[in-house]
Structure 1
Amino acid sequence: MAQENFLDSIDAIDAFILHATSGGRGDLTRNSPAYASGSMAVIRAAALFEVDGFADFLAGTPDDVVRALRTMRNIASHSGYRAMDDEFLWVSLTVELPPYVARWRRATQVGESDSTAP
């Protein structure tokens, strides 16, 4: 059940990233639907680390990545968009976060196949 819930969360994060970035950097403007989706991707990614049952899938994620996600989540959730660095959010959504999302997804497949690659 934890794996299914984790994969549902990963699917949601992927969908939010896609919606936030598919229109290009110009569409990621404050108060836009793309911006809201990008913020939700960060919020959902940070929330993964709050579920004990997900720990095995997240193992090996660097502490600085976890701290960065929590900080961005707190800014998006509590300070509002005016406090968010828009360019940093864009880079997070297009460069930094996608490889971790892919890595976390692959972590659910360990033991289901012969692959043990990170």
Structure 2
Amino acid sequence: MNDADPKRRFAPRPRRAAARSHDRENLVEELKAIRRRVQMVSGTSRDSFHDGSDAYDVASMVIIWLAALFERPEFVPYLTAVTREERLAISTTRNIAAHTGYRSMNDDLFWAAVTQRVPEILDRLIDEAAGAEDF
């Protein structure tokens, strides 16, 4: 077989061991990455925020990624700064974005969530996870 052989190109490779994937520092880095995406969305206008726009897609990933953090048991001790209602809202929005589709999304509420509520939540989570260090 040579490298041009399709069977060889798509052969599974062994997984790499993740370095520090479950520690507090990694969580803070993930939260900061989400915050950078929120800033990208906030840098656009509400008028340009609609199904099919880049900002809309990034906002969807913000919610999906944030909701996924709450599903990782190793991060639960560092995520207590979020209320039950906020977790439910994030989870519900994620379910709409990931499963139901954008047609079910209220764009005004989605915009407000990603540009106003999520930054507040991220600040609290980063402070909690980092031990209130300045980030």
Give the TM bin, normalised by the shorter chain. 0.7 to 0.9
Q: Which consecutive residues of structure 2, in runs of 5 or more, have no partner in the other structure? A: 1-19
Query: Cα distance, 1:26 vs. partner?
Result: 1.5
Matched, 1:23 2:44: yes
1:86 to 85, 88, 107: 107
Question: Partners of 1:91 and 1:73 in 2: how far apart?
Answer: 15
Q: Which consecutive residues of structure 1, in runs of 5 or more, have no partner in the other structure? A: none
Aligned partner of 1:104 in structure 2 is: 125
Q: Which runs of 4+ in 1 moved over 2 A?
A: none
Aligned partner of 1:73 in structure 2 is: 94
Identity of aligned residues (%): 30
| Deviation larger for 5-14 or 39-48 | 5-14
Q: Is the 8 A contact 2:27 2:75 kept in 1?
A: yes
Larger radius of gyration: 2
Aligned partner of 2:81 in structure 1 is: 60
Question: Partners of 2:130 and 2:28 in 1: how far apart?
Answer: 11
Question: In the TM superposition, what whole-angstrom CA distance separates every residue of 1:26-55 from its partner, at most 9, and x where no partner exists?
Answer: 221111100001111111111110111111
Q: Is the helix fraction higher in 1 or 2?
A: 1
TM-score (structure 2 length as normaliser): 0.77
TM-score (structure 1 length as normaliser): 0.87
Equivalent pairs counted in the alignment come to: 113
CA RMSD in angstroms, aligned pairs only: 1.7
Question: Partners of 1:102 and 1:24 in 2: how far apart?
Answer: 22
Letter in 1 for 2:108: E
Question: Partners of 1:40 and 1:49 in 2: how far apart?
Answer: 15
Question: Partners of 1:104 and 1:40 in 2: how far apart?
Answer: 18
